[in-house]
Structure formats: C-alpha cells, structure tokens
C-alpha cells in the first residue's frame, strides 16, 4: 500500500472518531433532558411535565375569568344600590309633595270625622255632614292622583274649601250651643234629683229617674177590682145574692165587681181574667170552658175564664156567669181577678 492510501485511511478513521464522539454527546444531552428530577430526587417523566404546564395554564385562565365575574358583580351591585337610593329619594320626595298638596284637606277631613263623632253623641243627624265628608274625600283623591302643584290645587278648590270651612264653623257652633243646653238640663236634673232626695227618693241620675218613673206609672196604671158581688143561680134560674150559698142552689155562679177610678190607666180594651180557686188552692181551669194560662208578675198562672172590657174609667161594672161542669163542693172559694199582667183584686164566697 502506498503512502497516499495510508493517509486517506487515517483521515477516514479520524472523521469516524469525531462523528462517534458527537453522537455520544448528543445522546448524553438527550438523556440529561429526559432525566429531570423533582425535589426529592425522583425523576420527572417528560409527559408529566407537559401535563403540569397545561394545568397551570388552565388555572391561570380560570383565575382571570373569576376575577372578571367578581368585578362584574361588584359593578352590578354598586349600580343597583345607586338605583335603589335614587328610587328611595324619589319616593320620599313624592310623598312630601303629596303631603304638601293634601295637608289642608287631610286636616279638614279629620275635623269632619271629629264633628261626626260629636254629632252621634248628641243625637244630631249626620246626613249633611256625610255629604261634606264625601266631597272632601273626592278632592283628596284628585289631589293625590293629579300632577297639579299646591298652588294649582288651592286655586281649583278655593271656593269649595271656603264653603266647607263655613259649614264646619256652623256645625261646631251648633254643638257648642247644644252642649250649653245639655249643661243647663243637667243642672235642672241635678236640682230635681236633690228635691227627690229630700223626699226620700234615692234617684241619682236621669236614667234611673226615668226607669223609676216608668215603674211608678206602670204600677199606678194597674186597675183595681173592688165591690165584689156574688150570686148563685139554681137550675130554674132563681138568683141568690150574698157570700154564702147552699150547694144545692148553685147551678151557675155570677161574679161581678166594679173597676175603681184610675186617671193614669189608658182608656182601651182590657183583657180581664177570672181565676176561681177552691179551698185546696186548686184553680178551675178547663180549656173547653174557656180556661187557660197567663203570665202574671213574671209567673204563669191558670185562669177559669176570660172576657174583654172597654175600660173608660167610669167605675164600670164587670160581670161574668160561670157554669161549672160539676157540682160545687162545700168550702170557701176565692175569685182572683188579673189584668195587664197583674193581680187587680179578689173576693170570696162560701158554699155550705
């Protein structure tokens, strides 16, 4: 082999050696890149490293979105609060405006309501007052629901308000006069009460006085049956007057009395009830013969017969013939007379 060929051969070997060293260096670098370690010295695979990078990016994106949402919510909340404050201010201003427009009408309405209560206490008719109150309520509704200013409202309702003020003044003046009259009457009543107190009357007030007077009038108007006369009629119609009769002579009994003088009792038709009571306290009361029951002084009483009398306060006579469905037994009998819910008298006779 020639010297030129040797040189070529040597050059080739050097080139191959350099290339092998370069390949080894690249291989070492790749192994160095793939073999990164964590804080504990453990190798971190290349795929895990890529996934970590992705998660970091995702978390950063979410943080940015969350910050944007929070910022939007803060902005929206601030805007809503501003709107609410603005609305609240508008409501307050509107309320003040309505109050200023209706202040005089509200005061007048209250005066009419107070006046109505006073009238009811004094028994005064409220029909005109209610019409005026309805008029005030109508003006109030118009004032609240209109866009007119306070000045415009006063100008529109000026005439009506003047008339209503006059009506109020007149009504209050009438009440004042009535109260003065009532005070005077109260003084008169007090004086009368004192007079009755001196006479032993224990009345202490108008109501009690009226009740007592009504009771007294009722009692005074009760009729009085007096001057009883009895007659026995036998089967042949012969009459025996007196208070003692033989039982063989009584087929019918005639009961008569006169009504005493009473100027207080009403002149009207009166129902008179006869109750014949035997010596055992039993009342002859046969519905077939005209008997029944009636309330007397709060108690239910039986009666023997009933008749209607036109009372005229002329000491008139009242008589009733009663035919018993059986013989009169021996003994004393009493005849009780009822009228207007009270006992008005009684008489008696003896059967031997």
The model's confidence at residue 59, banded by pLDDT at 50, 70 and 90, is: confident
Torsion of CA 278, 281, 286, 292, to 10 degrees: 130
pLDDT of residue 32: 47
Is-contact 336 272, C-beta < 8 A? no
Q: Which domains does the chain have, with CATH numbers?
A: 70-220 (no CATH), 223-351 (2.60.40.1930)
pTM of the model: 0.41
Q: What is the pLDDT of residues 158-167, one digit of tens each?
A: 777 777 777 7
DSSP conformation letters of 302-320: EESEEEEEE--SS--EEEE
Distance CA 279, CA 332 (A): 5
Distances (CA, A) of 260 to 147, 222, 227, 233, 334: 82, 10, 9, 27, 20
Average pLDDT rounded to a whole number, residues 141-158: 72
Average pLDDT rounded to a whole number, residues 240-258: 92
Distances (CA, A) of 57 to 37, 65, 71, 81, 291: 22, 12, 21, 36, 118
Task: Name the percent of the chain lying above pLDDT 70.
Answer: 74
Mean pLDDT for the chain overall: 78
Longest dimension (CA), the chain: 208
Q: What is the pLDDT of residues 288-329, one digit of tens each?
A: 889 999 999 999 999 999 999 999 999 999 999 998 878 888
């Amino acid at each position: 082999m020639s010297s030129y060929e040797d040189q070529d051969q040597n050059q080739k070997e050097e080139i191959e050696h350099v290339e092998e060293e370069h390949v080894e260096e690249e291989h070492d670098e790749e192994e160095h890149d793939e073999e990164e370690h964590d804080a504990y010295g453990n190798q971190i695979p290349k795929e895990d490293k890529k996934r970590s990078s992705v998660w970091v990016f995702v978390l950063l994106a979410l943080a940015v979105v969350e910050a944007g949402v929070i910022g939007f919510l803060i902005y929206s909340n601030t805007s809503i609060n501003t709107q609410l404050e603005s609305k609240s201010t508008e409501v307050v201003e509107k309320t003040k405006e309505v109050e200023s427009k209706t202040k005089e009408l509200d005061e007048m309405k209250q005066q009419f309501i107070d006046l109505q209560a006073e009238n009811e206490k004094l028994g005064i008719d409220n029909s005109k007052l209610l019409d005026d109150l309805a008029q005030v309520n109508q003006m109030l509704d118009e004032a609240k629901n209109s866009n007119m200013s306070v000045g415009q409202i006063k100008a529109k309702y000026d005439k009506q308000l003047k008339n209503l003020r006059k009506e109020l003044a007149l009504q209050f003046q009438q009440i004042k006069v009535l109260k003065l009259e009532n005070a005077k009457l109260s003084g008169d009543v007090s004086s009368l009460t004192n007079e009755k107190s001196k006479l032993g009357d224990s009345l202490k007030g108008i109501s009690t006085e009226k009740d007592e007077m009504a009771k007294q009038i009722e009692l005074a108007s009760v009729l009085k049956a007096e001057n009883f006369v009895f007659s026995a009629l036998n089967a042949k119609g012969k009459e025996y007057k007196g208070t003692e009769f033989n039982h063989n002579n009584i087929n019918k009994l005639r009961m008569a009395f006169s009504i005493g003088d009473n100027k207080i009792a009403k002149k009207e038709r009166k129902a008179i009830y006869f109750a014949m009571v035997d010596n055992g306290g039993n009342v002859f009361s046969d519905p077939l013969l005209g008997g029944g029951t009636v309330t007397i002084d709060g108690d239910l009483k039986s009666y023997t017969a009933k008749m209607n009398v036109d009372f005229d306060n002329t000491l008139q006579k009242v008589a009733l013939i009663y035919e018993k469905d059986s013989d009169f037994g021996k003994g004393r009998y009493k005849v009780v007379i009822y009228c207007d819910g009270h006992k008005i008298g009684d008489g008696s006779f003896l059967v031997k």
